[in-house]
């Protein structure tokens, strides 16, 4: 496990799931994975929020994670999103990705149910008890409607395979608070592109990024600069990317980033309902941001 944990850092892409004619486009997905690795991405998250996982069937979920593992071939860690709002289902998915060869699991706080802090603790403890995979907590109050407290995270950090957090709170004070509560070896990964640079300055070691779907090299270079302590270089890249970071969330993600990926010829822009096609106004914003960064003419 230690070797895997040392690799969970830098620019990690929250992969989109391409669709064509209503079906998962595994060919396009495989090409996206290969491109990510070639461009310097240091980790892959299939079947996270950006992958529209709640709309995937069980077979589609297994196919997406299996394809990522097969193509990555151990070159970068594959951190599969297995969290649901059912503890039993989360356990099933976590055990399934362990069998597929994933390197770790990303487990979101149960959405819609709104569990108490004790409920959160018991949920993660139950999942951790049935797998040998390292588990990253995914704390995203804006989507899940529940915020894991620092105190609850510290309790979970005592379990041997609860190894870190993807923090999408955008509260940079949390990084220091969680480090003091959970220890310096607790892996802290940003889940929010616009504040990822500041997150690392506070002690984080990477970002699970939406923007890196379309700008993998720039995101990797920015992360590498922060990990080397070269914040001057990192700020220059972040300044270049900021418009893209912002406009990839001009509507509910992943609709904007899938449209951006379509502009690069990576896949179709299709999302599954209940996500709507991107509006023309938002398409113009995404195109302008992509042009400004230099990704398209």
- pLDDT surpasses 80 at 223: yes
Is 275 part of a structural domain of the chain? no
Q: Residue 263 falls within a domain, yes or no?
A: no
The boundaries of the domain holding residue 24 are 2-230
Decide: 120 and 152 in contact? Cβ < 8 Å. Answer: yes
Residue 249 lies inside a defined structural domain of this protein? no
The label of the residue with tokens 């995937």 reads 56
For 18-45, what is each residue's pLDDT tens digit? 999 999 999 999 999 999 999 999 999 9
Catalytic residue among 121, 138, 258, 259: 138
Q: Is 138 a catalytic residue?
A: yes
User: Number of folded domains in the chain?
Assistant: 1
Residue 124 a catalytic site member: no
DSSP 25: -
Give the active site residue among 121, 166, 258, 285.
166
Residue 204 located in a structural domain? yes
Asked whether residue 3 carries a pLDDT value surpassing 90, the answer given is no
The answer as to whether 58 is a domain residue is yes
44 domain-assigned: yes
What end-to-end distance do the CA atoms of the chain give, in Å?
A: 44
CATH number of the domain within which 162 lies = 3.20.20.70
Q: Across the beta sheet with 135-139, what order do the strands follow?
A: 43-45, 10-14, 206-209, 187-190, 162-167, 135-139, 104-108, 79-81
Helix (H, G, I), strand (E, B) or coil at 209: strand
Model confidence at 234, pLDDT cuts 50, 70, 90, reads very high
pTM (2 d.p.): 0.96
pLDDT, tens digit (0-9, with 9 covering 90-100), for 91-114: 999 999 999 999 999 999 999 999
Say if 121 falls within a structural domain: yes
Residue-level pLDDT at 119: 98
148 lies in a domain? yes
């Amino acid at each position: 496990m230690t070797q895997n944990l040392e690799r969970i850092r830098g620019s990690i892409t929250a992969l989109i799931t391409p669709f064509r004619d209503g079906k998962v486009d595994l060919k396009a997905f495989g090409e996206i994975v290969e491109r990510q690795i070639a461009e310097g991405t240091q980790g892959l998250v299939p079947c996270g929020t950006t992958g529209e996982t709640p709309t995937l069937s069980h077979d589609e979920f297994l196919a997406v994670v299996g394809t990522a593992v097969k193509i990555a071939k151990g070159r970068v860690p594959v951190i599969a999103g297995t969290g649901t709002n059912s503890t039993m289902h989360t356990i099933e998915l976590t055990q399934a990705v362990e069998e597929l060869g994933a390197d770790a699991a990303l487990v979101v706080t149960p959405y819609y149910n709104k569990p108490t802090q004790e409920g959160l603790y018991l949920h993660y403890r139950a999942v951790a008890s049935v797998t040998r995979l390292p588990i990253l907590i995914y704390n995203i109050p804006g989507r899940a409607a529940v915020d894991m407290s620092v105190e609850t995270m510290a309790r979970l950090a005592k379990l041997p395979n609860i190894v870190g957090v993807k923090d999408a709170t955008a509260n940079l004070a949390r990084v220091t608070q969680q480090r003091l509560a959970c220890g310096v070896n607790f892996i802290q990964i940003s889940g929010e592109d616009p504040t990822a640079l500041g997150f690392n300055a506070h002690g984080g070691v990477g970002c699970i990024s939406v923007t890196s779907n379309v700008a993998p090299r720039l995101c990797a270079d920015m992360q590498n600069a922060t990990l080397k302590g070269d914040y001057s270089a990192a700020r220059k890249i972040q300044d270049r990317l900021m418009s893209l970071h912002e406009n990839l969330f001009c509507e509910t993600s992943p609709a904007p980033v899938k449209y951006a990926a379509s502009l690069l010829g990576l896949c179709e822009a299709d999302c599954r309902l209940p996500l709507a096609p991107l509006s023309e106004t938002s398409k113009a914003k995404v195109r302008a941001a992509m042009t400004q960064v230099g990704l398209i003419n």
